[in-house]
Amino acid sequence: MKKTSTRLADGRELIYYDLRDDTVRDAVDRRPLERTVTTSEIRRDPLLGDSVAIASHRQGRTYHPPADECPLCPSEGDRLSEIPDSSYDVVVFENRFPSLAGDSGRCEVVCFTSDHNASFADLTEEQARLVLEAWTDRTSELSHLPSVEQVFCFENRGAEIGVTLGHPHGQIYAYPFTTPRTALMLRQVAQHKEATGGGNLFDSVLESELAGERVVLESEHWAAFVPYAAHWPYEVHLYPKRRVPDLLGLDEDARSEFPQVYLELLRRFDRIFGEGEPATPYIAAWHQAPFGQLEEFEGVSRDDFALHLELFTIRRTSGKLKFLAGSESGMSVFINDIRPEAAAERLREVASS
């Protein structure tokens, strides 16, 4: 992998990740851009104790442009985009309309391929491995920023999810706090550790799932399963079998095997609802341990957390979506329309031949 860092016309950082070590990246951003101005701030909710990002400048962000005006495609001739070069393998750049910025963190865009009509599932294993290396590198770099406490790599796929740019891409949010979902996990880890005299909750969950009926696929170094209390109609959790706190902790064996396993999962998701159905909308979310101090979670260290990816769709059946209505949105109590065991069985049925 070759990494080349440059700057866009408005000062934002852009990084090329290339498969070939002899690739030269010297294209200059020729757009007449002024420096971006953001109004992002973090406000603490006194009743719930969580944090909300206020980012009113995002109202003017690019919204469903035609394919020939996609800002994530390479620049070509007089059509100038966010990527100055005429081609790329993987590109990461600072979001022009970030939810988090400055002392409030940082937001980046990850373009998986220059092919506008592709999806992550269409990547080769070599390309998918390069994306993994980009995620890992950005996790390392962002973790050293003084304003960053947790790094979240994720992909939103599909208009139903709220995606406004059709080009295959994901995002990285670097939060200045530990996110509420991670905090809940850490509290459960602390309780389990105390109750079992030092046992690890993630290890216990993985062991239990591998012995059960909700395993979707398993390889030497990775395991994917539908969790016992799945929140979403089709939801899969992907774990490395050797517990590590973040992407940096993965060894070479796990890194080498990841593309094959993950691409198979994504391709199964596209087959859940049968031939002729639109591409399955999904969210793919990497959960990593915070890089900040964990004093509030008594007896818990970063090494007690387990890196894992959660992949889920909001489509519950052909042509129907799972909406977060009264119980989910008002009380944070999910109601799942599909038994996790049935979801796991379906995801095994649609395995590649």
* CA 239 to chain centroid: 14
Beta-bridge partners for 235: 312
Q: Are 345 and 301 in contact (CB under 8 A)?
A: no
d(CA 43, CA 161): 25
Which residues are CB-contacts of 351 (< 8 A; sequence separation ≥ 6)?
Answer: 217, 264, 268
d(CA 198, CA 205): 15
Structure tokens at 95: 């979001």
> Collapsing DSSP states into helix, strand and coil, what is residue 286?
strand
d(CA 245, CA 325): 33
The torsion region of residue 222 among left (phi > 0), alpha (psi -120 to 50) and beta comes to beta
Q: Are 243 and 121 in contact (CB under 8 A)?
A: no
Q: Which residues are known catalytic residues? A: 169
Query: Cα torsion for 249, 241, 132, 301, to the nearest 10°?
Result: -40
Which residues are CB-contacts of 264 (< 8 A; sequence separation ≥ 6)?
Answer: 217, 351, 352
d(CA 251, CA 248): 8
